[in-house]
Amino acid sequence: MNIHQNVSLADKNTLRLDARAEWYCEAFTVEALLEAAEFALNRKLKVISLGEGSNIVLAGNLAGLVIKNRIPGVNRDAEVVHVAGGENWHSLVRSTVSSGLFGLENLALIPGTVGAAPVQNIGAYGVELGDTLLSLKAIHLPTLEQKTFSKAECELAYRDSLFKRNDEWLITHVSLALSKVSECVTTYPGIVSYLKEHRLGISGESIAKAVTHIRAGKLPDPLRIPNVGSFFKNPVLETERAEALAKVFPDLVQHEATGGKKLSAAWLIDQMGLKGFRVGQFVVSNQHALVIINEGGGTQGELFELVGVVKQKVKYTFGIDLEIEPRIYPDGF
């Protein structure tokens, strides 16, 4: 196991922020992961788990050991797939859809690894990872204990889980219960119109195709235009508060959600006229108000100044505190 010192993470996060890891390694097996975790334990180093870096903001250099999970492998047992954490999420969606298994089609084109998918219970177009998650395996970094978590133990919620709040666990494998029977979710109007327009019936393949098409038109490709997808969570307000706000702003975009009404953060930001707003090299995307893009060489200072303006304007007009969706490192920044 090669563990390197003072490694640049600039090409290991999709926002392309320049920061360095004190120690860095890539683990291709569980044994290598355990070895790396033990290395950190012996030196009392904090461990940070890394996937493809599509949901992190590097606010500065990272003390400790960054372990990038590269463990490969997909095994199928009837309608259950067991997937190693280093696999690419979209490749998994493509392979399950093409082998006639339903359940992941609405989650096509979400960047990142399978191991990171439970961390914020990835979701899109009416479906969340939690809809198919059966269990997962993880290593407890401070003790090297290996544990299987049932879905209930993962404490999944909207863009949240036990693992987003407690980074002592590194997810090595995920098991998903898929189905050979079509239970497709087509509630999102864009999917329906795509299927109609292209004269496609409802199938896993056609829905994945529709979702891929819609996403590619709405979200900048992080491989070409550095970004982390949605920068803010959609705020959930108590129904009474949301209704009061809707009286002042009749066009307010809101949907039923657990705990009240979920508002569209993109709508709130758009109303502030912030699309295209720039600080240095960071810009609120003109394509999607929830996405912040780095036009090249943007600094942490510029990013956080821009984020501050967005949050302040939304708070002043709507009284809502926007919450940042990606994890910010180092902790406590």
Ligand X SMILES: Cc1cc2nc3c(=O)[nH]c(=O)nc-3n(C[C@H](O)[C@H](O)[C@H](O)COP(=O)(O)OP(=O)(O)OC[C@H]3O[C@@H](n4cnc5c(N)ncnc54)[C@H](O)[C@@H]3O)c2cc1C
Question: Whole-number minimum distance, CB 264 to ligand X, in Å?
Answer: 14
Q: Is 112 in the site for ligand X (CB under 6 A)?
A: yes
Question: Whole-number minimum distance, CB 3 to ligand X, in Å?
Answer: 17
Pairwise CA distance, residues 191 & 173, whole Å: 31
Catalytic residue among 105, 159, 161, 175: 159
Question: Whole-number minimum distance, CB 111 to ligand X, in Å?
Answer: 4
Pairwise CA distance, residues 324 & 232, whole Å: 4
Classify 276 in phi/psi space as left (phi over 0), alpha (psi -120 to 50) or beta: left
Pairwise CA distance, residues 224 & 53, whole Å: 15
Question: Whole-number minimum distance, CB 244 to ligand X, in Å?
Answer: 29
User: Which residues are CB-neighbours of 34 under 8 A, at least 6 positions away?
Assistant: 139, 144
Q: Is 265 in the site for ligand X (CB under 6 A)?
A: no
SS3 (DSSP) at 187: coil
Count residues binding ligand X (CB under 6 A). 35
52 catalytic, yes or no? no
Q: Which is nearer to ligand X, 56 or 242 (CB)?
A: 56
Q: Please state, as a whole number, how many other Cβ atoms lie within 10 Å of the Cβ of residue 18.
A: 15
At residue 177, φ and ψ (nearest 5 deg) are -95, 105
118-157: contacts with ligand X (CB under 6 A): 119-120, 122-124
164-223: contacts with ligand X (CB under 6 A): 167, 169-171, 219, 222
Q: Which is nearer to ligand X, 100 or 190 (CB)?
A: 190
Question: What is the distance in angstroms between the CA of the first residue and the CA of the last residue of the chain?
Answer: 31
Residue among 25, 57, 81, 117 that touches ligand X (CB under 6 A):
117
Strand partners for 279? 282
Q: Is 318 in the site for ligand X (CB under 6 A)?
A: no
Strand partners for 170? 139
Q: Is 64 in the site for ligand X (CB under 6 A)?
A: no
Classify 282 in phi/psi space as left (phi over 0), alpha (psi -120 to 50) or beta: beta
Residue among 50, 195, 272, 283 that touches ligand X (CB under 6 A):
50
Q: Which is nearer to ligand X, 57 or 237 (CB)?
A: 57
4-33: contacts with ligand X (CB under 6 A): 14
Pairwise CA distance, residues 83 & 292, whole Å: 31
CB-based burial label for 306 (10 Å; 0-12, 13-18, 19+):
buried
Segment near ligand X (CB under 6 A); pick from 104-112, 240-248, 272-280, 305-313:
104-112
Is residue 160 a contact partner of residue 122, using CB atoms and an 8 Å limit? no
91 catalytic, yes or no? no
At residue 146, φ and ψ (nearest 5 deg) are -110, 130
Is residue 51 a contact partner of residue 68, using CB atoms and an 8 Å limit? yes
Residue among 64, 103, 229, 298 that touches ligand X (CB under 6 A):
229
Catalytic residue among 54, 135, 230, 285: 230
Rounded to the nearest angstrom, the gap between the alpha carbon of residue 110 and the centroid of all alpha carbons in its chain is: 8
159 catalytic, yes or no? yes
Residue among 309, 327, 328, 330 that touches ligand X (CB under 6 A):
327
Segment near ligand X (CB under 6 A); pick from 19-27, 111-119, 238-246, 316-324:
111-119
Query: Which residues of this chain interact with ligand X, rule CB under 6 A?
Result: 14, 48-56, 69, 85, 110-113, 115-117, 119-120, 122-124, 163, 167, 169-171, 219, 222, 227-229, 327
Please list the active-site residues. Answer: 159, 230, 325
